[in-house]
């Protein structure tokens, strides 16, 4: 009997503990909870949060029926809601407005379910305050509208596309440009609706971004619209760093290109004027000497003196030939060549081989080549650039021992080539003039120094939208840094 009594006491203690635990959870729940008794669904218990949500003391809540807790305008909704719960015997959730004592209504999410306890049953209703959720939703909606306003206020065309080139979102300028509606574009492939194609465009930046996960840009011509477009694409990643979509940004640069062409033509005419003046001056000097020496030779009786004059005439003629040859090369650069992908390391090697062995016999050549440095260009032109600079570097060492460094580098948005010598250097006052046509610091008496080599180099580099910088210190050497943008093409 004693053992049986001890077991009974133990079970009673256990039940008390469980009851206490349930009560603690009930009172401390983050949602308001009320227990309802049928048939009138009167409140027979309420937790602390239910009292705080309604503004009523617990004793006041225990005197109310469930429908009395709601705004008068929503009581019918509450009755309908409760009727469905009672008739179906299933839990149900809905949004209603609580009537708070001495305060305004409170929007809540109400979840009600039946609880069976043996032969008796009750209903438990939970109130979840929607205030913070509504505020957050409102902020999200306001933020969305603000972003849409910014998106549509951009005057250039913007579209968001998935990895299958399907349009997800466009701004108003796209709608205006193609005279359609959002429904006409959303879900359609960009190349179909924009360009009436069955496959992505050639050099499509969106395709490039999908492949490389990097921004891309290209310029395309639309002949039937007489329009030029600059199309840029930018990757969009999710929080895991996975590419999920691409932003396409389209600018109409027709007018910009027209103005560029006008400016280019004006600069070209100005360049021709400078070139013509320089050529006339450079040719006139040796030509005047030829005429003068020919007149003297005609009066000279000594055969040996006549030969001396003829030798000088030959030197002056070779000088004129060198100038004309340089002008020919200069003129050829105005023509549009066929471009292909070239390896700059290979072109540097070829350019090095074209330099006469006698000039470079005492020079140590060092190479620091990046394994993959390529660009789309005419190889002959790029070899002309490197050949001129390498030849100048060897000549700057003036037949003495020296060191020539050739290096290449691939950066994120560009490829770079460096040609460095430890020769005589360039006087500081001449550094800003070395790319001018017919400017030279070389001697004129031996057929050297037409002053066109570095100007040709400069024209070719800028033709491919590149840059060339020079660093030089007299007596210490010279370094030429050439940079070409990745994906650069012929720039007319």
Specify the CATH number for the domain of residue 243.
3.30.450.20
- The answer to the question of residue 85 being in a domain is yes
What pLDDT was estimated at residue 419?
93
- The answer to the question of residue 2 being in a domain is no
Q: Of 252, 279, 300, which marks where a domain is finished?
A: 252
Using DSSP's 3-state secondary structure scheme, residue 129 falls into strand
The answer on 462 and 420 residing in a single domain is yes
- DSSP letter for 447, please: S
| φ, ψ dihedrals at 55, nearest 5° | 85, 0
The answer on 327 and 388 residing in a single domain is no
- The answer to the question of residue 25 being in a domain is no
How far is 348 from 29, CA to CA, in rounded Å? 77
The answer on 228 and 168 residing in a single domain is yes
Q: What is the pLDDT along the chain (492 residues), one digit of tens a residue?
A: 544 444 454 455 545 655 677 777 888 888 888 888 888 888 888 888 888 888 888 888 888 888 888 877 778 888 888 788 888 777 777 887 787 887 778 888 888 888 887 788 888 888 888 777 777 777 777 777 776 777 677 788 888 999 999 998 888 888 888 888 888 888 888 888 887 888 888 888 999 999 999 999 988 887 777 888 888 999 999 989 999 999 999 888 888 878 877 776 666 665 555 556 555 655 766 777 788 788 888 888 888 888 888 887 887 787 677 667 656 655 555 454 567 888 999 989 888 876 665 555 678 889 999 988 888 888 878 887 888 888 888 888 876 778 899 999 988 888 999 999 988 888 887 777 777 766 666 654 443 555 567 887 888 888 888 999 989 888 888 999 999 987 554 433
pTM recorded for the entire structure: 0.40
The answer on 403 and 314 residing in a single domain is no
Specify the CATH number for the domain of residue 276.
1.10.287.130
How far is 180 from 193, CA to CA, in rounded Å? 10
Query: For the chain, what is the domain count?
Result: 4
The answer on 488 and 346 residing in a single domain is yes
Centre a 10 Å sphere on the Cβ of residue 61 and count the other Cβ atoms it contains.
21
What pLDDT was estimated at residue 10?
42
- The answer to the question of residue 145 being in a domain is no
What pLDDT was estimated at residue 3?
43
- The answer to the question of residue 431 being in a domain is yes
Q: Of 282, 311, 332, which marks where a domain is finished?
A: 332
The answer on 355 and 259 residing in a single domain is no
Contact between 422 and 382 under an 8 Å Cβ cutoff? The reply is: no
- The answer to the question of residue 195 being in a domain is yes
The answer on 297 and 411 residing in a single domain is no
Concatenated DSSP letters of 68-113: GGB-GGGHHHHHHHHHHHHHH-S-EEEEEEE--TTS--EEEEEEEE
The answer on 301 and 169 residing in a single domain is no
How far is 207 from 201, CA to CA, in rounded Å? 9
The answer on 296 and 351 residing in a single domain is no
Q: Which domain holds residue 445?
A: 338-492
What pLDDT was estimated at residue 322?
65
The answer on 402 and 466 residing in a single domain is yes
The answer on 129 and 164 residing in a single domain is no
The answer on 376 and 458 residing in a single domain is yes
């Amino acid at each position: 009997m004693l053992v049986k009594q001890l077991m009974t006491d133990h079970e009673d203690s256990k039940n008390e503990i469980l009851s206490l635990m349930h009560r603690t959870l009930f009172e401390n729940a983050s949602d308001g909870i009320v227990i309802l008794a049928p048939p009138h669904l009167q409140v027979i218990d309420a937790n602390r949060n239910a009292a705080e949500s309604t503004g009523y003391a617990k004793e006041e809540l225990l005197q109310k029926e469930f429908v009395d807790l709601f705004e008068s305008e929503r009581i019918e909704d509450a009755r309908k809601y409760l009727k469905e719960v009672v008739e179906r015997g299933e839990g149900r959730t809905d949004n209603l407005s609580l009537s708070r004592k001495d305060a305004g209504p409170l929007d809540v999410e109400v979840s009600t379910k039946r609880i069976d306890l043996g032969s008796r049953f009750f209903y438990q209703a939970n109130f979840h305050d929607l205030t913070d959720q509504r505020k957050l939703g409102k902020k999200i909606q306001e933020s969305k509208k603000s972003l849409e306003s910014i998106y549509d206020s951009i005057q250039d065309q913007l579209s968001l596309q998935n990895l299958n080139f399907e349009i997800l979102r466009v701004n108003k300028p796209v709608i205006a440009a193609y005279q359609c509606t959002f429904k006409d574009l959303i879900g359609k492939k960009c190349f179909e609706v924009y360009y009436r194609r069955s496959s992505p465009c050639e050099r499509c930046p969106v395709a490039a971004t999908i492949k490389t996960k990097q921004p891309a840009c290209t310029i395309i011509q639309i002949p039937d619209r007489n329009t030029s477009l600059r199309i840029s694409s930018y990757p969009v990643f999710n929080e895991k760093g996975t590419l999920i979509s691409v932003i396409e940004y389209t600018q109409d640069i027709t007018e910009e290109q027209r103005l560029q062409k006008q400016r280019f033509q004006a600069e070209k005419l100005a360049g021709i004027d400078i070139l013509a003046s320089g050529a006339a001056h450079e040719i006139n000097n040796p030509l005047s000497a030829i005429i003068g020496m020919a007149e003297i030779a005609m009066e000279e009786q000594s055969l040996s003196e006549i030969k001396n004059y003829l030798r000088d005439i030959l030197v002056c003629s070779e000088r004129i030939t060198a100038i004309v040859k340089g002008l020919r090369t200069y003129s050829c650069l105005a023509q549009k060549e066929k471009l292909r992908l070239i390896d700059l390391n290979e072109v540097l090697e070829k350019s090095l081989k074209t330099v006469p062995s006698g000039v470079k016999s005492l020079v140590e050549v060092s190479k620091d080549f990046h394994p993959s440095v390529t660009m789309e260009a005419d190889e002959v032109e790029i070899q002309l650039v490197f050949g001129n600079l390498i030849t100048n570097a060897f000549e700057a060492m003036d037949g003495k021992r020296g060191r020539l460094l050739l290096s290449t580098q691939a950066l994120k948005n560009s490829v770079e080539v460096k040609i460095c010598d430890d020769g005589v250097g360039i006087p500081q006052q001449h550094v800003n003039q070395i790319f001018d046509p017919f400017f030279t610091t070389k001697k004129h008496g031996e057929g050297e120094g037409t002053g066109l080599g570095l100007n040709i180099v400069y024209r070719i580099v800028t033709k491919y939208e590149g840059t060339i910088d020079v660093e030089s210190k007299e007596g210490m050497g010279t370094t030429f840094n050439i940079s070409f943008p990745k994906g650069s093409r012929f720039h007319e």
